[in-house]
């Protein structure tokens, strides 16, 4: 299979191609056009040309087309989820039941929101101020390889619904479903040029895109290192930066033990551990630490690792060989820093012949981790849990905040007062209390500190995809 760029509604061949492979067995899935600055220029020009007519449509007209796209995604859930699983190694139980259906929800939701964009009025004795919101123009949307389809739609849906046009660049490691998104958008009736898709590598394709002078806003999801680089290359533009995380999952002695255990296992091992909001630092109060560690290790040992297309697989392969090497390097590092390897590790897994070449790693648990160790401070982005004991509430908050990142956080306690106190003091863009990460599309999604700038979701998406204008009228 060949995947081309999609520019102005038409496939555009690459000057060169790269391969995208199935991480479960290294089979080549497609040859993908390798974008360069010329491709980017053509895509931005198409988006710029398409902008006036798209922005001039009424929100209801746009909403109808956006909704069509949501319906088409729903119709294609089996195809899209299988393609996503093959391209990324994310398990089919996640892609089919959660991630691809959520992509359809994104379009349905923003079809509603765009028809009800609100504003503010500030009347005084002499003047009336009110706010108008205008689309920004051409937006660069850049996605990572973990949950790529959902992340892309999370950007494309508000971007287009609010009247902007887009150039979408997916990760070179997971381009397949985005290519389908471009085709489905055309099928939904979204005019040519409104959504353009370019494929390729960060420096060759992503950088000319963010630096392009006709791009007015950049919505980026990816690593903190790339986010920093993009801000420098892009210059003055509107930004939404959804970056890395190393989120604390704090369990107090008065927590509902079994529910906290379930959620802790889920938040580090689901999505292969390749999840920006993973609860990768599991902070447990000392009085329950030994019991919790024992049960957590027992659960981790039972997790099924294997074929991501099998319904009962919990952990599939890591996205790439180089990412696998990175995850393994942290597993090697842990014991040298003084952490105890409780289960998992680097030994070969017992896998069928068909998966022997896959990028597999065992679910791994480190206990008695010190928060200043590198395994606790750096984003591993794999199925590696760090259990960290703490003394009391103040100690838990201190450890939770002693980190460069601030994306998500999780607090487990049956004390209402403690829940509110800790939620208020924890340095993170999101805090889930007695809950795993449950997404409400109205909530501000994003992080603080090294985890990002700006928020997306609901009216928070105005920040990057709409330009507010104050009108001041003398009475
Ligand atoms: P990455 O930063 O390596 O790449 C992300 C995207 O940026 C890719 O499409 C890549 O090609 C592109 N890119 C790379 N260099 C570029 C450059 N110089 N200019 C423009 N584009 C460039 O990240 P990744 O490894 O694909 O994804 C994993 C990271 O994403 C993790 O750190 C994870 O936490 C983060 N993430 C964050 C969120 C969130 O919402 N905060 C969600 C998912 C993933």
Q: Which helix (H) or strand (E) holds 286?
A: helix 286-302
CA of 226 to the centre of ligand 1 (A): 6
Task: Answer yes or no: are the C-beta atoms of 359 and 23 closer than 8 Å.
Answer: yes
Q: What is the pLDDT of residue 119?
A: 87
Is the same domain home to 203 and 257? Answer: no
Q: Which helix (H) or strand (E) holds 138?
A: strand 138-142
Pairing mode, if any, of strands 340-343 and 364-367? antiparallel
**Which of the residues 4, 84, 207, 242 is marked catalytic?**
242
Does the beta carbon of 203 sit less than 6 angstroms from any atom of ligand 1?
A: yes
Is the same domain home to 105 and 13? Answer: yes
Tell me the HSE value of 169 on the side-chain side, using a 13 A CA sphere. 31
135-171 confidence digits (pLDDT tens): 999 999 999 999 999 999 999 999 999 999 999 999 9
Q: Does any domain span residue 442?
A: no
Does the beta carbon of 379 sit less than 6 angstroms from any atom of ligand 1?
A: yes
Task: Answer yes or no: are the C-beta atoms of 169 and 35 closer than 8 Å.
Answer: yes
State which of 23, 99, 144 you would mutate to test the pocket of ligand 1, scoring each by most atoms of that ligand within 8 A of its C-beta: 144
pTM of the model: 0.97
Is the same domain home to 167 and 53? Answer: yes
User: How many domains, the chain?
Assistant: 2
Q: Is 242 considered catalytic here?
A: yes
Is the same domain home to 158 and 205? Answer: yes
Give all strands of the β-sheet with 238-242 in edge-to-edge order.
10-12, 5-7, 195-198, 165-169, 138-142, 215-221, 238-242, 452-453
Mean pLDDT to the nearest integer, 101-114 = 97
Q: Does any domain span residue 441?
A: no
Mean pLDDT taken over the chain: 97
How far, in Å, CA of 334 to CA of 2, rounded? 42
Task: Answer yes or no: are the C-beta atoms of 316 and 306 closer than 8 Å.
Answer: yes
Does the beta carbon of 244 sit less than 6 angstroms from any atom of ligand 1?
A: yes
Does the beta carbon of 307 sit less than 6 angstroms from any atom of ligand 1?
A: no
The residue segments making up the domain with residue 379 are: 248-433
Structure tokens at 224: 């903190």
Spell out where 234-363 has E strands.
238-242, 248-251, 281-285, 340-343
Q: Does any domain span residue 443?
A: no
| Residue 404's CATH number | 3.40.309.10
How far, in Å, CA of 29 to CA of 19, rounded? 7
234-259 confidence digits (pLDDT tens): 999 999 999 999 999 999 999 999 99
Residue nearest atom 23 in ligand 1 by C-alpha distance: 222
SS3 342: strand
| Residue 26's CATH number | 3.40.605.10
Candidates 252, 49, 227; CA nearest to 138 is: 49
């Amino acid at each position: 299979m060949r995947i081309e760029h999609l520019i102005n509604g038409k496939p555009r061949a690459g000057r060169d191609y790269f391969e995208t492979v199935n991480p479960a067995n290294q089979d080549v899935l497609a040859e993908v056009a390798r974008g360069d600055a010329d491709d980017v220029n053509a895509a931005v020009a198409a988006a710029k040309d398409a902008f006036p007519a798209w922005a001039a449509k009424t929100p209801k007209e746009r909403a109808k087309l956006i909704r069509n796209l949501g319906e088409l995604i729903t119709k294609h859930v089996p195809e899209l989820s299988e393609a996503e699983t093959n391209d990324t190694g994310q398990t089919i139980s996640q892609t089919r039941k959660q991630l691809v259906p959520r992509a359809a929800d994104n379009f349905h939701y923003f079809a509603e929101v765009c028809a009800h964009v609100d504003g503010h009025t500030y009347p005084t004795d002499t003047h009336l101020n009110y706010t108008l919101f205008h689309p920004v123009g051409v937006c660069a949307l850049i996605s990572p390889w973990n949950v790529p389809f959902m992340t892309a739609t999370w950007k494309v849906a508000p971007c287009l619904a609010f009247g902007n046009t887009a150039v979408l660049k997916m990760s070179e490691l997971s381009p397949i479903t985005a290519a389908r998104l471009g085709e489905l958008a055309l099928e939904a009736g979204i005019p040519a040029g409104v959504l353009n898709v370019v494929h390729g590598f960060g420096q060759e394709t992503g950088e000319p895109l963010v630096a392009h002078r006709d791009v007015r806003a950049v919505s980026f999801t990816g690593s903190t290192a790339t986010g920093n680089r993009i801000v420098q290359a892009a210059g003055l533009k509107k930004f939404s930066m959804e970056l890395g995380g190393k989120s604390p999952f704090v369990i107090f002695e008065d927590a509902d033990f079994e529910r906290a255990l379930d959620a802790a296992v889920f938040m580090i091992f689901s999505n292969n551990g390749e999840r920006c909001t993973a609860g990768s630092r599991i902070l447990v109060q000392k009085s329950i630490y030994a019991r919790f560690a024992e049960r957590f290790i027992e659960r981790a040992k039972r997790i099924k690792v294997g074929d991501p297309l099998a319904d009962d697989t919990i952990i599939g392969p890591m996205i790439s060989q180089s990412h696998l090497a990175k995850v393994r390097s942290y597993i090697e590092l842990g014991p040298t820093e003084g952490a105890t390897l409780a289960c998992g590790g680097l030994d070969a897994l017992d896998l069928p012949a068909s998966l022997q070449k896959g990028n597999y790693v065992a679910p791994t648990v480190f206990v008695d981790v010190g928060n200043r160790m590198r395994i606790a401070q750096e984003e591993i982005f794999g199925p590696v849990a760090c259990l960290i004991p703490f003394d009391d509430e103040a100690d838990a908050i201190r450890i939770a905040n002693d980190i460069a990142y601030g994306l998500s956080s999780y607090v487990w306690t049956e004390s209402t007062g403690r829940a509110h106190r800790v939620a208020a003091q924890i340095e993170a863009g999101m805090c889930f209390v007695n809950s795993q990460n449950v997404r409400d599309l109205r909530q501000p999604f994003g992080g603080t500190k090294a985890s990002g700038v700006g928020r997306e979701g609901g009216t928070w998406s105005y920040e990057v995809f709409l330009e507010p204008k104050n009108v001041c009228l003398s009475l």
